[in-house]
A and B are shown apart, each in its own frame.
Chain A
Amino acid sequence: MKPAAFDYRAPRTLEEALGLLREHQDEAKVLAGGQSLVPAMNFRLARPAVLVDIARVPGLDRIDLDDPGSVTVGARVRHLDLEHNTIPGPLGVLLARTGRWVGHYPIRVRGTFGGSLAHADPAAEWCALACALDAEIHCRSANGARVVEACDFFEQMAFTTCLAPDELLMGVRLPSLGDSWGVGMAEFARRWGDFAIVLAIAAVERDGDSVARARIALGGVAGGPVRAAHAEAALSGRAATPESVAAAAAAAAEEVDPTGDIHGSADYRRDLVRTMVTRALNQALA
């Protein structure tokens, strides 16, 4: 369990980092917290020729609250900083609630938000959250910057994104959810800290006793995070009742097409979708 040989580079500026990515393209891998990449290298499942460590690149570790309509989370913000964030309103609550579920404490100390998105594990909490909130993923290469909608960022193949080999994920812009929003997060894993068998993230905008808009994303049921569109439709514009929640959860279970593994068959996962969506929605509507 020793990695294959690689070069290690530690650029001190963004320009230098992007230059290295342009130079080495597919041969390079960006190292941030290293909580997924380093084990993959030790298993020799990942064999980058060059590791570009962005630890010293300035400006990637900030949570930017300046824009009233959104919060931008820098790529190198640690899971733990989101778990203990000071972001006001429902977004702060959702990030804190979700952050607790990311791996184990030592992983949350080192691992990063941007790293999790770029790694794109199908059961990763942050990927589902980004997808649920229609986050904007800010990418940059030596040739310029672009913004990708979260749901387009993740390919429906595990560990695959639209990030080009020479691109660096800079940060993620999340909508600051106003006080009319409620948020919920539910996850089932065999053990605390394991990757989810199924997880659900819900954000619901209330309009009196009814639901104006519902956003529901699921992890662990496909190659990447997915939005439960039928479930959202089943709830949006309806009264916020146990019946409408049950209908949305049933719709979510119906619309997913999970595959099984040793921790849970497809049918079990489908049942868990119903339960997790119910629990996330109940939190969001509480």
Chain B
Amino acid sequence: MIGESVPRLEDRPLLRGEGRFVADIDLPHQLHMRIVRSHAAHGTITSIDAAEALAVPGVAAVWTGADVADVPPIDFRQVGADQMVPYRQPILAQRRVRYVGEPVAAVFAADPYTAEDGAERVVVEVAELPPVLDAAGPLGDFDERLDTEAYVFTEATGDVEEAFARAEHILEAEFRVGRHTGVPLECRGAVAAHHRDTQTLEFLGAAKVPFQNRDALAQMLGLPPSRVVLREAHVGGGFGVRGELYPEDVLVALAALRLGRPVKWIEDRQEHLVAANHSRDQLHRLRVATDARGVIEGLEVEFVSDQGAYVRTHGATVATLAAAMLPGPYRIPNYRVTGRVRLSNKTPAGTYRAPGRYESTFVRERAMDAVAAELGIDRAEVRRRNLIGSDEMPFERGIDALGTPVVYDSGRYETMLDRVLDHIDYSALTESLAERRAAGELVGLGLGFFVEKSGLGPFAGSRITVDGSGRVTVTTGEASVGQGFETVMAQICSDVLGVGLDSISVVHGQTDQMSYGMGAFASRATVMAGTATHDASEALRQRAIEAAAEMLEASADDLVMADGAVSVAGSPAQAVTLGEIASALGPASPLARGRPGLVAEEWYTTSHMNYPYGLHAGVAALDPDTGRLAFERYVIAYDVGRAINPMLVEGQIVGGAAQGFGGALFEDFSYDEIGQPQATTFMDYLMPTAAEMPDLEILLSEDAPSPLNPLGVKGAGEGGTNACGAVVAAAIDDALGRPGAVTSLPVTPERLHAMCRSLAATG
């Protein structure tokens, strides 16, 4: 069962229109919330007049910052630091607005139309202040006391000075990755109700991290966590963006408490593009020291991460990961990095699929190509000379990320390089590309090697129960954002128990169903919840066999479990089904011995992440007359240790690659000179469609199972995205015959057209 590409359990309801997303949830007497957002990038609120809005029939309430001044700002969920505390976002702007789209007021009305009628009648006056739009430029003022540099950190290993002192070659470069983010098919949303009979606040439409958000909401609203229940419904994509705790979520919960009616909020797309977390937007400056053979002896990096207007739940996560993962698959013994988390008057930022790694892979692989060009060494060869050997595993990087030392658990990097070079027939390909270029075509190859991280701890739990019919229920506190979580958990459980997938239900993201939970982020769900489910399934199997031994009056050693029953080996007629065992384990049954039920619960804890790795290779042709870039081939090799469901892994890679291409070629949150966002609809925020995507050739490998969990699995969510920017840039350089031509993303047709013209002009 493990390793089989079984169809998704989730698909049946989703394809039949039976899915239940947050917008499908309605509660009697609910109010609808509409947010009034700042139209100014930066300024002081001089007045808010809600009189006309309150006069609209059906408008029940209008709140401004003053009404919620008692609610604290939203705290960090991870990678917080004292210095960043003053930069957290209030749920409604307090006196100052800091980005276009910032919540300034909330209107509550009988239906969403009326709420919008009311919202457009709230008059907000702002005395505008000069905005900061380039975080890498001069610092601005966050408020009267604080400037816009929220956090600076340095990580180092080895002796960088010494490495540069003895270097044969020193290269300097600057690279920039633009601002884009995850744009799930389903926008954000929430429905909250305060049940006075049980004094419980119920929050529906939770995603990603329901348990952490329960605790955060309880703290902000002054409620006991046990009286706050978060429930996850179907979720139409997460990508790091959806499910974080945002101002709108807190407002919905608060309004349900204070207004005494259920409150519903469904975000629209225009809001999403200015209000949900943006991401990326980093500028890196680096110096590389190499020996005569192109082996990198020292690397020094300083980068600025444009955090937008506030530091949200992720704290310094993205910058921390960029710093920690920048060296990637290469040995680089001496490394120093300084990250600067700076604010600007743009939408606040957070994580997005391969956070910090999309950026740092672009930077590192650009640098690797530069070393190859500078020293006249083949690009594959220079990478080979720098790869960490499989005999060096586990490999200690010597720096920390997310509170844990970066220790690559396993990897056979050179094997992967060889596999990809064989697959594309590297020498023949480079030769034929050179011939085509000589004949006038602009066609080139890019390579992008990377290490991902996955399976972030510290814990996940899984409880498996069997009812009297034999139905198996796997309950975890982890979450599904649409990635196939239920299928994967069911496969792992089925593999141990031998019951069919149709007999397994998976419950996730319900805070009243499990004591603890983390969630769906950092490619952790399969690793963490999968391991817990594996362990719980083993425990349940043991308990079923022990009970069956008594029921069948046989020795446990003689029993086998298959097809939902336990039988005596060799005599299948002597059997009891799991349902019969469960029924026999009632509370009063002597068989139960005070522990009723066919149930097992296990918790998997770890302080280490594990590290999948991959290599992208793409061949692209450039049309000099329009600047359009088209990939003729795109290969993604990825090692996830062990693929529970290869089809789902491939699906993760394909979807991830589309997002990687988006950031490299299409998606760009640009702002004009006064801080007005220029991409606020899908006409201007260009996500690639199927028509823009090349056919992907996916080489899934299981060369390096993780030694850190019994399944050997590593996370599969982010490898498709990681190296797209690096490969797009490298393929363009190669097509133009201009190493180092691309230093920033996204590369638009207009920029490519200009590069082609300058190439034609200079020969």
Contacts and interface: CB of A to CB of B under 8 A. Distances in A.
B112 interface: yes
B688 A262 contact: no
A2 B750 contact: no
Nearest to B670: A262
A268 B627 CA distance: 10
Interface string B732-756: 0000000000000000111001100
B563 interface: no
Interface string A1-34: 1111100000000000000000000000000000
B666 interface: yes
Contact of A188 (B628, B679, B686, B757): B628
B146 to A, nearest CB: 32
Interface string A118-153: 000000000000000000000000000000000000
B120 A275 contact: no
A252 to B, nearest CB: 14
A43 B680 CA distance: 11
Interface residues of B, number: 31
Nearest to B749: A190
A160 to B, nearest CB: 19
A4 B666 contact: no
Contact of B270 (A43, A194, A262): A43
Contacts of A263: 684, 750
Contacts of B113: 2-3, 5
Interface in A80-116: none
Contacts of A265: 750
Interface string A175-205: 0000000000000101111110000000000
B268 A1 contact: yes
B427 interface: no
Contacts of B684: 262-263
Interface in A234-286: 262-265, 268, 271-272, 275
B692 A191 contact: yes
A194 B686 contact: yes
Interface in B605-627: 625-627
Nearest to B750: A268
A56 interface: no
B112 A2 contact: yes
Interface of A: 1-5, 43-44, 188, 190-195, 262-265, 268, 271-272, 275
30 contacts: A1-B116, A1-B270, A2-B112, A2-B113, A2-B116, A3-B113, A5-B117, A43-B270, A44-B120, A188-B626, A188-B628, A188-B749, A191-B666, A191-B686, A191-B688, A191-B691, A192-B689, A192-B691, A192-B692, A193-B689, A193-B691, A195-B683, A262-B678, A262-B679, A264-B749, A265-B750, A268-B753, A268-B754, A271-B625, A271-B753
Interface of B: 112-113, 116-117, 120, 268-270, 625-628, 666, 668, 670, 678-679, 681, 683-684, 686, 688-689, 691-692, 748-750, 753-754, 757
Given A1-B116, A268-B753, A268-B754, 9 more contacts: A44-B120, A190-B686, A190-B748, A192-B691, A194-B686, A262-B684, A265-B750, A268-B627, A271-B757
Instruction: For the complex of A and B, list the 4 residue pairs with the smallest distance between their C-beta atoms, beginning with the closest.
Output: A192-B691, A1-B268, A275-B625, A2-B113
